[in-house]
Amino acid sequence: MPETQLHNTLRRYRRDLGLSQEALGDRVGVSRHAIMAIEAGRQVPSTTLALRLANTFDCAVKDLFRLDPVTELEVRLPPHRPAATTSPPIPSSRVAVGRVGGGWTAHPLPAHATGAADAIVVDGGADVSRDAPSARVRPVRDMRQLERNVLVAGCAPLLANLAHRVGEGSVDARATWIPASSHRALDLLAAGMVHIAGLHLSGGASREANADAVRRRFPGKRMVVVNLTRWHQGFVVAARNPLEIRDAADLLRPGVRVVGREPGTGADELFARLLADEPGGQPDFSGPVAEGHLDVARRVHCGAADAGVAIESAALAWGLGFVPLVEERFDLVIPASIAEAPPVARFLDTLDDPGFRTEAASLPGYDTSISGHASTLEAGSAGS
3-state secondary structure of 89: coil
d(CA 24, CA 42): 18
Q: Mean of the pLDDT values across residues 59-83?
A: 81
d(CA 133, CA 304): 36
Nearest to 374 by CA among 334, 328, 322: 334
Q: Per-residue b/e over 196-222, b at no fewer than 16 CB within 10 Å?
A: bbbbbbbbbeebebbbbbbbebbeebb
Give the residue, 295 or 114, on which the prediction is more confident. Answer: 295
Instruction: Name residue 236's beta-bridge partners.
Output: 308, 322
Q: Mean of the pLDDT values across residues 1-19?
A: 79
Q: Mean of the pLDDT values across residues 368-381?
A: 87
Q: Mean of the pLDDT values across residues 262-283?
A: 82
As a whole-number percent, the residues of the chain with pLDDT over 70 amount to: 90
d(CA 98, CA 75): 9
Please report, for residues 175, 233, 376, the alpha-carbon distance to residue 373 in angstroms, rounded to integers and kept in the order given: 20, 21, 11
| DSSP summary character for residue 94 | E
Whether 206 has a pLDDT exceeding 70, the answer reads no
pTM of the model: 0.80
Lowest-confidence pick of 12-16, 64-68, 115-119, 343-347: 64-68
Q: How big, in percent rounded to 5, are the helix, strand and coil portions of the chain?
A: 35, 25, 40
For residues 40, 41, 42, 43, the Cα torsion angle rounded to the nearest 10 degrees is 110
pLDDT value at position 83?
44
pLDDT tens digits for range 139-176:
999 888 999 999 999 999 999 999 999 988 778 899 99
pLDDT value at position 70?
66
Please report, for residues 102, 335, 345, the alpha-carbon distance to residue 372 in angstroms, rounded to integers and kept in the order given: 27, 16, 12
3-state secondary structure of 121: strand
**Cα end-to-end span (Å), the chain:** 42
Q: CA geometry: angle at 341 spanning 340 and 344, to 5°?
A: 85
Please report, for residues 285, 303, 317, the alpha-carbon distance to residue 320 in angstroms, rounded to integers and kept in the order given: 19, 11, 8
Helices (H), the chain: 10-16, 21-28, 32-39, 47-57, 61-64, 143-147, 158-169, 182-190, 207-217, 248-251, 266-275, 293-301, 312-317, 342-349, 354-362
Whether 382 has a pLDDT exceeding 60, the answer reads no
